[in-house]
Amino acid sequence: MGAGATIDRVGLLRRIPLSALALASLVLVTTALVLVFYVAPNDANQGFSQRIFYFHVSLAMTAYACFAGGAWNALRHLWKRDPRSDLQSYVCVHQGTIFGAMVLLTGSIWAKISWGQWWVWGEDELVLFLILYLFYCAYFMLRFSVDPGTQRANLSAVYALFGVVLIPVSFAAIRLSKEFLHPRLFHLDGPAFRGWILATYLVAQVAMLVLAYTLYRVEIAGKRLDLRLRDLKEALV
């Protein structure tokens, strides 16, 4: 019942026109920016620099969601042998690495303001996210070192499934760390912020998720068109 309902919701998402998604992304990102710069108050401890957090954390959560989507499609490929799942898994991982790169860049800028350094190697949260990111970068090396076909799809799927294990480790690192510099934003009893800060974060989070899904749809449409075109060329030659 639960899995069936999830698949139905995914089916519903696929039926949303791309133009509607692009418009929603634009409206949501613009709203998020207005809230970030004109509505949300300055943080008592970090001041203005805390405003990076709204997109930085949203980007991180979106990257995790993309990697989880990659693993889910990888599982579907291995389990159901759904021919579309390999491409969907690949595009999800690709989106995850793009959003992951933005997390590292924005986080590094935040570190420079807050800690006076671009990177702190002793910080578990940062290093584990970097490991997760590099792990997924290596996914592309593996994928493109094997000829297209079932073997490549299977290897990629297994690799994407292994990678998803690193997500909870990366997320939990901040709790396991005894000496931490990275702010703790989410506790077991809820987020560590309220009011406009929470509202702005939620809008930014939804904006990033919708933007990622829009880009995913654009990329997958391009890839499918490319594959159809190659098949057509082969048929004509």
Partner 1 sequence: MTNAEKYVTAAYCVVFAVILIYVLLIAVKLGRLDREVSELEQKIRQPDDG
Give yes or no for a contact between 166 and 135, defined as CB atoms under 8 angstroms apart: yes
Nearest CA-CA partner of 198 in 43, 45, 65, 48: 43
236 lies in the site for partner 1, by CB under 8 A: yes
Selected binder of partner 1 within 81, 84, 112, 184 (CB under 8 A)? 112
From 5-13, 46-54, 119-127, 159-167, span contacting partner 1 (CB under 8 A): 46-54
List, in sequence order, every beta strand (DSSP E) within the chain.
186-187, 190-191
53 vs 67, beta carbon nearer partner 1: 53
Q: Could you tell me the CA-to-CA distances from 43 to 34, 57, 229 in Å, in that order?
A: 17, 15, 53
User: Which residues, numbered 49-108, are part of the site for partner 1 (CB under 8 A)?
Assistant: 49, 51-52, 55-56, 59, 98, 101-102, 105-106
From 47-55, 60-68, 183-191, 193-201, span contacting partner 1 (CB under 8 A): 47-55
43 vs 177, beta carbon nearer partner 1: 43
SS3 for 145-184 is CCCCCHHHHHHHHHHHHHHCCHHHHHHHHHHHCCCCCCCC
Q: For residue 78, count other CB atoms closer than 10 A to its CB.
A: 18
* Token pair belonging to 236: 């004509």
Q: How far is the CB of 102 from partner 1 (least distance, A)?
A: 5
Selected binder of partner 1 within 64, 110, 136, 139 (CB under 8 A)? 110
Q: Could you tell me the CA-to-CA distances from 172 to 47, 125, 129, 147, 218 in Å, in that order?
A: 26, 8, 11, 37, 32
24 lies in the site for partner 1, by CB under 8 A: no
From 2-10, 48-56, 62-70, 121-129, span contacting partner 1 (CB under 8 A): 48-56
Q: For residue 179, count other CB atoms closer than 10 A to its CB.
A: 7
User: Which residues, numbered 125-184, are part of the site for partner 1 (CB under 8 A)?
Assistant: none
* Token pair belonging to 83: 């021919």
Q: How far is the CB of 134 from partner 1 (least distance, A)?
A: 18
41 lies in the site for partner 1, by CB under 8 A: no
Give yes or no for a contact between 161 and 67, defined as CB atoms under 8 angstroms apart: no
* Token pair belonging to 173: 């690192």
From 122-130, 144-152, 153-161, 228-236, span contacting partner 1 (CB under 8 A): 228-236
232 lies in the site for partner 1, by CB under 8 A: yes
Contacts with partner 1, residue ranges (CB under 8 A): 33, 47-49, 51-52, 55-56, 59, 98, 101-102, 105-106, 109-110, 112-113, 211, 215, 218-219, 222, 225-226, 229, 232-233, 236
